[in-house]
């Protein structure tokens, strides 16, 4: 089993990146907070929640100020460099469903493929969507770019590992979970602002804010996913993997869904359209 697993992971991993890239370019701008900018774009987002063009500026205005330090700290280790070489592109790994399906049934790989195929999603699609809002001056050819791309490419894995769906509350919970993993203030701001918006709309006893807070605690208990060997995680049974990562079932999120369904409300119809049937 171990030898077959090694052959499979080798087939999933793309070619290793160049070793001559600088760790992090000095020309990268220093992350700074711009609260008026964040508030302006949030007000525009509230007017049209489907206008995702307003999200990227919020993250620019409320960044993870310690992200450069986190990236350089991890990439300065042997483990970080080994992972950069064995998993240079998560997009290529995650979109190779034919190879992922060769991993054991019940593994994260199978659950991931089922989720992405059911929802009509792809890792490349997410990358393309976010790149639409990336200016030419925001591209930097350094090793840290690999670290930042993993922040983007693990988003759907977080949905699957946590059990938070793509409904309105589920997205706010994933943002809160992500804040504890990648503490950009935008994650925290958007998760609670979105939760307050749902609470204002629904006016029920569903524990909306408690669900978001629970998600935040879950993210803190879990080791930083972007620094984990994703190929190894994909091969593991999902229930065992959740236990290893200290990810517990989200009780408040489940309770909120139960409250809404008891009222005849589909949780997936609060803001976004319902997902496709399995």
Q: What is the dihedral of CA 143, 147, 153, 157, to 10 degrees?
A: 140
Give the residue among 49, 248, 26 at the shortest CA–CA distance from 144.
26
Question: Does residue 111 lie in a domain region?
Answer: yes
pLDDT score recorded for residue 43: 87
User: Per-block average pLDDT, block size 10, for the chain (278 residues)?
Assistant: 55 65 92 94 82 87 96 97 96 97 96 96 91 72 95 96 96 97 97 93 92 98 98 97 98 97 90 41
Question: Does residue 16 lie in a domain region?
Answer: no
DSSP per position, 223-244: --GGGS-HHHHHTSBHHHHHHH
Q: How many domains does the chain have?
A: 1
pLDDT score recorded for residue 216: 98
- Check if the beta carbon of residue 58 is closer than 8 Å to that of residue 189: yes
Question: Hey, what are 255's tokens?
Answer: 């309770």
pLDDT score recorded for residue 20: 75
Question: Does residue 105 lie in a domain region?
Answer: yes
Question: Does residue 26 lie in a domain region?
Answer: no
Question: Does residue 28 lie in a domain region?
Answer: no
Range of the domain at 78: 2-9+35-269
pLDDT score recorded for residue 5: 56
């Amino acid at each position: 089993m171990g030898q077959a697993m090694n052959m499979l992971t080798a087939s999933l991993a793309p070619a290793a990146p160049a070793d001559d890239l600088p760790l992090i370019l000095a020309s990268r701008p220093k992350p700074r907070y711009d609260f008026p900018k964040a508030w302006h774009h949030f007000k525009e987002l509230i007017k049209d929640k489907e206008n995702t063009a307003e999200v990227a500026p919020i993250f620019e205005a409320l960044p993870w100020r310690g992200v450069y330090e986190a990236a350089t700290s991890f990439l300065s280790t042997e483990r970080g460099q080994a992972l950069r070489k064995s998993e240079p592109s998560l997009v290529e790994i995650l979109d190779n469903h034919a190879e992922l399906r060769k991993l054991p049934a019940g593994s994260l790989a199978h659950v991931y493929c089922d989720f992405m195929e059911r929802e009509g999603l792809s890792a490349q699609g997410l990358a393309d969507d976010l790149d639409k809002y990336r200016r030419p001056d925001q591209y930097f050819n350094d090793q840290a770019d690999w670290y930042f791309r993993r922040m983007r490419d693990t988003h759907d894995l977080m949905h699957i590992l946590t059990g938070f769906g793509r409904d309105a509350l589920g997205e706010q919970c994933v943002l809160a979970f992500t804040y504890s993993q990648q503490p950009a203030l935008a994650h925290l701001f958007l998760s609670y602002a979105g939760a307050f918006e749902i609470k204002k709309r629904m006016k029920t006893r569903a524990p909306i804010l408690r669900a978001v807070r629970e998600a935040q605690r879950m993210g803190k208990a879990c080791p930083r996913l972007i620094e984990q060997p994703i190929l190894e995680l994909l091969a593991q049974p999902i229930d065992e993997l959740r236990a290893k990562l200290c990810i517990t079932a989200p009780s408040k999120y489940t309770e909120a869904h139960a409250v809404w369904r008891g009222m005849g409300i589909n949780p997936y119809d609060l803001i976004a359209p319902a997902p496709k049937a399995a």
